[in-house]
Amino acid sequence: MQPGARERAELIKRIERGEFRECYLIYNRKSSDDTDNQKNSIRYQKTENLRFAVAERLKIAPLTLDGFATNGIVSERHSGFDESHELGFGPGNTVHYRIERPKFHQLVQWLGRRCFRGVIILCWDRASRNRGDDTILRKLMKSGTDVRFVLARYDKSSAGALHMDVDGMFAEHHSRVTSEKVTLTKRNLRERGVCTHKAPVGYLNLGDMYRKPFDPARAPIIRQLFALAATGEWTLADLSRWAIKQGFTMPPVRRRRTEKEILAEEEDDVRLEIAPTQRLPTFNNIHKVLTNRFYTGRIMGNEGLWVRSVSHEALVSDQLFNQVQARLRGRQTSVHYAQVVDLPLRRLIYCADCGRVYTPYSQKGIVYYGARCAAGCTNGLKSINFDFAADTFGSLIGRLSFSDEEYAYLDENAGVEAVHLETTRLNLLEANARREKKIKEDLAYLRDNRLTLLRTGAYSAEGLVAEEEQLNLQLDRMREDAIHMPIEATINDTFKLSELIKSVAVSYSLANPSEKDQIVRVMFSELALSESSLSYQCKNGFRPLAARFLPNHDPKGWLSELCHYREAIQESIDDVESLIDLSANDNTPIGKEEAA
C-alpha cells in the first residue's frame, strides 16, 4: 500500500471510530446551472458558513481528506438537480437508488453513521434540488442529525415543516424552470436553422450562434479531403497522413483535468488556466469529418432530420458528399502507395471466401498473386501465378460470345420475340406513366406536409425518411424501365458485341501481360477464386452475355432483360472498338487480328 493510501485509510478508520463525533462539517455546492448567482460562489458560502459557525459556537472538524474535505469544509460542483432514475429493491422492503453527487453521498453516509454531529449549509437550495436528496436530508434530521441552515431556521412545528416544504419545492422548481427555458430556446433556434452547438473543425466558433464562418486555414484542406475521398483510392489513414503533410491540425482544445485539479477548483472559484493544444488528426477524426452532413450547410433539427442552416455556409456540395458516403460504404483499399508497382491484374482478383484481395508481387521474373486471408478462411488457394490468372480470364472471355447453336436459336426466334417484347414494353410504359404520376403526387404531399405529419404522429422521423426513400426508389426503377428504343435494335447491338468479343478472344492468347491486363479491365470488374469455386463480375454491357449462363435461365426472359442494358451494351461496344483501334495503331496482336 502506498504511503498516501495508508494515511488515507487510517484517517477513514479514525472517522468511523467516532473521533469527530462532536464536530460539524461545512457543505458548499457551486451550481453548474446558474453560475452568475452570487449565492453560488464557493467563497461566499465559505465565508457565511464559517461566520455562522463562530456565532453559534459550533466546532468544525479538523479534517482534511483528499477527494472529500479540506479543514472540515466539503466543496462540490454539481447542479443538484440531476438525479438517477434507476431503482433497486432488496430484502426487508428496502429500496436503493443512486446519488449523483459523490461528496454529498459520502457526507450523508457518515452523518447517518453518527460519525459527525451535524453539517452546516447556507440554505436548502445548496443542499438539494431534487426530491430524492430531500428525502435523505429529512430522514437524517428526523434521526437526530443536526443539519443547520445559515439563511433559514425551521421550527419543530407544522409551520416549520411547511417552511421546509416550500423551500425544497422552490429549489427544485427553480432548476426545473431553468432547464425548461434552455430546452425551449434551443428547440426554437434549431427549428429556425440556428446552430446551437459547437461547429466542427473547418469552421470558427466565435461565440455567436448565428455566425459560424469558415476557418481560413482548415476549410480548404477539408474541401480537398472530400475530393480525394470521392475518388475511392484513398483510405482514411492515407487521408490523415496527407492532411498532416498539408499542415492540418485539429482545433486547439484543453486536456482533461486531473483529479487533483478538479478538487482544487472545487475548493475555490478560480478556474485553473490550462493552455489549449493542437493535435494531429487521426483516421477517426477524418472519418467524422467525411460523414458529417454539417459540411453541406445543414444542422440536425428537432425531429432527427437535417435542415438548412442559417448560421453557416456549405463547404462541399450535396453531390460530392453523397459520392464520399458511397465510397466509404464500398470496399476500401487497405494501403495507398504513393508509387504503385506496375503489375498486371492488380485489384481484380479476390478470395471467394473472405473477400481479401490477391496482391501481385514479382519473384525471379514471375508475377505471383498472394492473399492474406482472414482468420478462419477455408480457402487453401493462397497463391497463384500470372499464367493461371490470365488463362482463367481467357476462358471466361471465350464463353461470353455466342456459340453457333445460340446464333441459330436467336436467328429463328429473335424476330417473333422482338414483336412480343415491343408490345409488352409499350404496355409497360403506359402503366408506368400512371404509376409515376401517382408517386410524384405522394412525394409532393410528403414534402408539403412534413411538419404536420410529424406533429400529428402519422409518421415518425425515421418512418418519413424511409417512405420518401421507398417512393424515390420506385420512381427510379420505373424510369429505368422507360426504354424508348426498339428491342430489335438492342438485339442487333448484342450480336455486334459478341462478334467483337470473338475477335478479342482470339488475340488475347497472343497478347503480352500488359495488353491482357488492358483487355481484362475493359470486360471484368473482379474475379473471385477459391479451391472449389470460381465467380466473376462483368462490366457494363458484358453483364447480359454472362447472365445467360445462370442456372435454369429462360431464353425468352433473357431476351426481355436486354432492354435494361441498352445503353450499357452500346458503351461496351465503344470500349471494345476503342481498344481495337488503339491496338491497331500500336501494331499489337489485337490490331493485327482485326485488320486480318
φ and ψ of 68, to 5 deg: -135, -60
Spell out a b/e string for 77-101, using b for 16 or more CB atoms within 10 Å of the CB, else e.
bbbbbebeeeeeeeeeeeeeeebbb
pLDDT of the residue at 301: 86
Q: In what order do the strands lie in the sheet with 366-371?
A: 358-363, 366-371, 383-385
Amino acid at 215: D
Helices 487-508, 404-448: inter-axial angle, 10-degree rounding: 120
Q: Do domains 3-175 and 219-268+275-329 have the same CATH topology?
A: no
The ranges assigned to domains in the chain are 3-175, 219-268+275-329, 349-402+489-595, 424-484
Average pLDDT, the chain: 80
Which CATH number is associated with domain 219-268+275-329?
3.90.1750.20
Can you give the pLDDT at residue 484?
45
pLDDT of residue 339: 60
3-state class (DSSP) for residue 526: strand
Low-confidence ranges of the chain (pLDDT < 50): 1-2, 483-485, 551-553, 591-596
Question: By the 8 A CB rule, do 195 and 309 touch?
Answer: yes
Reading the block at residue 497, the C-alpha cell is 458485341
**Residue 495: its pLDDT value, please?**
82
- Alpha-carbon distance of 141 to 131, in angstroms, equals 15
State residue 214's pLDDT score. Answer: 93
Retrieve residue 433's grid coordinates.
Answer: 406513366
Report domain 3-175's class.
alpha beta
Query: What pLDDT, on the 0 to 100 scale, is given for residue 52?
Result: 92
Q: What is the pLDDT of residues 9-57, one digit of tens each?
A: 889 999 988 899 999 999 998 876 555 555 668 888 888 999 999 999 9
Q: How far apart are CA 222 and CA 527, in angstroms?
A: 35
Contact between 316 and 223 (Cβ < 8 Å) = yes
- Encode pLDDT of 120-135 as tens digits: 999 888 888 888 888 8
Tell me, what's the pLDDT at 285?
A: 92
Q: Which residues of 295-334 are buried (b: 16+ CB within 10 A; e: fewer)?
A: bbbbbbbebeeeeebbbbebbbeeebbebbeebeeeeeee
Percent helix, strand and coil across the chain, each to the nearest 5 = 55, 10, 35
Beta strand residue intervals within 204-337, DSSP E: 298-300, 306-308
